[in-house]
Amino acid sequence: MGGGPEVPLREGAQKNDVLLAVLPWPEQLSAKIISEIKDEFPKLEIHYIQENFPKKDRAKTEVPEDLTKRAKFLATIAWLPATASKSPNLELIQFFSAGTNHIAEHPIYTDSEIPLTTASGVHGPQIAEWVIMLNLVHSHNYIQLYEQQKKKEWVQSKGAQVRDGVGRRVGVLGYGSIGRQVARLAQALGSDVIAYTASPRKTPESRRDNGFIVPGTGDPEGSIPSAWYSGLDKKSLHEFLRQEIDLLVLSVPLTKDTQHFLSTDEFELLHKSNPNGTYVANISRGGIIDQPALIKALESKQISGAALDVADPEPLPSDDPLWDAPNVLITPHISGMSTVYAERAFGVLRENLRRRRDGKNFVNQVDRKRGY
């Protein structure tokens, strides 16, 4: 475990399979699960290189050429060999991110067939809590109450207009691991959940979650939604948005089909469907929403507010008008962060090592044509 100079092999000896991890966290954060992987796969040679952080310093990360050539498995967020030929033995690249759109133009993505898998599934608990937390901050008028606290004022009227979650409708646009955990928490609050997926899910089998699931979370059988909608066309999307949604959660990947999925027409439709105001939470990518249209929707009260963990662009410039839009809460793309993130992501890698050993399909494998 760990890096260091290569020791010459005795003549006739065989090298072990190499797992190369190039990640931005200290190795110590994942020491326990790395040790468990080593125990389960004793012939696996693990080398961990801490990637330079922040992003602007990634290019300065030094990865020995010999390790790059020998690596059979690569664990990474963004670092990749320049081309597939630089890593001729690679059989799997396990990304520790939910998506791969950030490397979609890289030669390994466009010009190779090396299997790519993601860490989809590890983000559900913390992101779902972020969604519910900010929705409650909004629905319980907490910002006003906090400002009142700072002024040392005791005025109960500012906390009187509260609408709890019972009987409210939560629309989950993108019913993957994150959306399913949002649904689980929303159901616990007494809310009705409806789901939207790219492709139809008309059978119980099609509604099951076959990805990585943090134990005790999510909706493995797809049994929570009271109704399912699907499609990538505007007509199908609009049918979903007509369902009097109180909380709309965006958890779809950013592709050419979902770019500006929500724009002027969609915000107008949400307002007509629910005059009380839909609250929009975006934890996917900023480009899912037409940002100028969102600002207008907030200013005209077509929606009741927005919780945004993503923006377009990122970082959001200090002079961007989104900062000053009414009833908006913005966090700097941190909803997926967790003290156990790295451990869970290594858990996905361990599952894929097991599946390779057992001749099974990888979990969370990317379909390059679909983009996720």
Residues forming the active site = 285, 314, 333
Gap between the Cα atoms of 284 and 371, Å rounded = 14
Angle at 240 between CA 307 and CA 170, to 5 degrees: 45
Rounded to 5 degrees, φ, ψ at 305 are 165, 180
Do the beta carbons of residue 19 and residue 71 sit within 8 Å?
yes
As a whole number of angstroms, the distance between CA 64 and CA 80 comes to 13
Residues in contact with 230: Cβ distance below 8 Å, sequence separation at least 6, in sequence order: 196, 197, 198, 199, 200, 201, 236
CA distance 210 to 223: 14
Residue found under tokens 């979902």: 258
Instruction: List Cα–Cα distances, 152 to 55, 141, 156, 160, 243, in angstroms.
Output: 42, 17, 13, 18, 42
How many residues would you count in the chain? 372
Place of tokens 């400002």: 147
Distances (CA, A) of 67 to 90, 346, 356: 11, 20, 21
Separation of CA 196 from chain center: 16
The token pair at 83 is 């081309």
